[in-house]
Structure 1
Amino acid sequence: MSRLRDYVIEAHGGLPLWRQFEQVSADLDQGGVLWSVKGFPHTLERTSVAVGLKTQWASHAPFGSGGRRSRFEPGRTALESADGAILEDLSDPRASFAGHTLQTPWTELQLAYFAGCAMWTYLNMPFLLAWPGMESEELEPWPTDDGDWRRLAVRFPADIATHSALQTLYFDGDGLLKRHDYNVEIAGNTPGAHFVSDYVEVSGVSFPTRRRIFARRPDGGFSPEPLVVSIDLSNIRLS
């Protein structure tokens, strides 16, 4: 377990380098059917995100119209004005998703929660493998047309807000993350297969800039239609 974990962390830039930074920011161009299903087809279509690297927080700006921004933390989600004034907030936001299915519309604060915990997870991976309380176990390789991908089954600690406690990561022969499987618990436990590609190097750290998420089948395959979520990243910054 530790050998594969250490190998993939090193392949993405290494833990000593990663720990020099406090946050990562990026510009986002997002699409896919999920946003319309949840009632917000354009709110986060073009925006920027910043996420913490040492504590769990994220912020999208703009968040829709009016110069607003979001603030996500595991126990609280808020919408703020451009000068930081709180416009509305929600404590214990995950509890608000009780009984939701994939088709259940979200409120703006629920959208802010989902987008925040998702982008925090994505932008911190695979360095999250070294987070306190994270557990991982290597699985059998997954065959692809480009060769076998090594896999890690990951269990997140209870204090981390993410898609699901159990997730699976796939890595190519160079140790780069290629696929990320999870169930979206707050959307009826919907299974997703999340593919990443088009890596760039930023301050010595490798980041994928293209993300495509599809519905995962029980056999581990995926349905190419519909495209559930697309995320294209640019202008990635570490600070």
Structure 2
Amino acid sequence: MHELLLQAIEAHGGITRWHELSQVRATLVSGGELFTIKGLSQDDTPREMTVALHEEHASVEPFGAPDQRTDFTPERVSIEKLDGRVVAERTDPRRSFSGHALETAWDPLDRAYFNGYALWTYLTTPFLLAMPGFTVTETEPWREGDEMWRGLRATFPAHIASHSTHQDFYFGPERLLRRHDYFVDVAGGFAAAQYVSGHVDAAGIVVPTRRRAYRRASDGRPLVDQLMVSIDLSNIRFG
């Protein structure tokens, strides 16, 4: 395992503690321009996010109605009642984004898929980078103010759904995640720079509680007047 990844995993709680746990739940409030561009209603209602730690599986509730939730895996996404009755579902959901541009409207299943893979990625970082099939190499560091953040470029395996095949993760001097760069392939492939902060210790795992994803200029700068996605997490519980 790469030396920087080892340091980052240790700073976020360590691999031993990670393997003692199986899932995380958190209260989620999200916003940003992306959902408006996609023609989706957006509000600040807190939602409950549940993510499996060692397989790509996630759910959020409520979704679309007080008695509904999502169920996401890379192979299938569904909207279902809390008793398990399926309202809508889609197999091979990534295929439905073929040909999409940034302005292409999303339906509720598109949003459920995006939410599922994105929050799974965020809530398992940096530990997911040590999973089978991932490769990482050190990339050029990013200077932010007076700090130099070391970077890892990760190549995601084909069976993991995420923003893009190649993503960059930047870690501060204490080796906590500070920034995450990627291309949003399901929304026309626009470049994003996501800044993370507000790290808390939840059951021995360190998690950022604030994420702000901006469009990214060609020189890597965040376009701070184009906030595409905002995420605030609270009440984080591992089990």
Question: By the TM > 0.5 criterion, same fold?
Answer: yes
Amino acid at match of 1:56: E
CA deviations over 1:128-184 (Å, ceiling 9, x no partner):
111101100011221121310000011001110000000000000000000000001
CA deviations over 1:50-81 (Å, ceiling 9, x no partner):
01111111101000224110001001000110
Give distance in 1, aligned partners of 2:84 and 2:143: 48
Give distance in 2, aligned partners of 1:218 and 1:72: 32
Structure 2: runs of 5+ lacking an equivalent:
none
Amino acid at match of 1:232: D
Give distance in 2, aligned partners of 1:141 and 1:215: 19
Please report how far the alpha carbon of residue 12 of structure 1 lies from its aligned counterpart in structure 2 after TM superposition. Answer: 0.3
Partner of 1:62: 62
1:9-48 to structure 2, matched below 5 A, reads 9-42=9-42, 45-48=45-48
Give distance in 1, aligned partners of 2:212 and 2:69: 25
Partner of 1:103: 103
CA deviations over 1:182-233 (Å, ceiling 9, x no partner):
0011111111000000111001110000000100111111100121111110
Q: How many residues align?
A: 239
Partner of 2:178: 178
Contact 2:31–2:43, Cα closer than 8 Å, also in 1: no
Give distance in 2, aligned partners of 1:197 and 1:32: 17
The SS at the match of 1:226 is strand
Question: 2:192 aligned with 1:192, yes or no?
Answer: yes
Partner of 1:202: 202
Give distance in 1, aligned partners of 2:180 and 2:233: 17
Amino acid at match of 1:173: P
Contact 1:24–1:53, Cα closer than 8 Å, also in 2: yes
1:1-239 to structure 2, matched below 5 A, reads 2-42=2-42, 45-239=45-239
Moved over 4 A (4+): none
Give distance in 1, aligned partners of 2:4 and 2:194: 20
Amino acid at match of 1:197: S
Give distance in 2, aligned partners of 1:66 and 1:198: 29
The SS at the match of 2:227 is coil
- Residues 65 and 34 (structure 1 numbering): CA distance in 2 closer, same or farther, change over 3 Å? same
Give distance in 2, aligned partners of 1:237 and 1:53: 12
Give distance in 2, aligned partners of 1:162 and 1:226: 21
The SS at the match of 1:228 is strand
Amino acid at match of 1:235: N
Amino acid at match of 1:59: S
The SS at the match of 1:209 is strand
Please report how far the alpha carbon of residue 46 of structure 1 lies from its aligned counterpart in structure 2 after TM superposition. Answer: 2.6
Give distance in 2, aligned partners of 1:165 and 1:127: 17
Instruction: Provide the TM-score with structure 2 as the length reference.
Output: 0.97
Amino acid at match of 2:10: E
Contact 2:32–2:230, Cα closer than 8 Å, also in 1: yes
Identity of aligned residues (%): 46
Instruction: Provide the TM-score with structure 1 as the length reference.
Output: 0.97
Structure 1: runs of 5+ lacking an equivalent:
none
Give distance in 1, aligned partners of 2:31 and 2:45: 6
Q: CA RMSD in A?
A: 1.2
Amino acid at match of 1:104: T
Give distance in 2, aligned partners of 1:116 and 1:44: 18
Give distance in 2, aligned partners of 1:105 and 1:169: 29
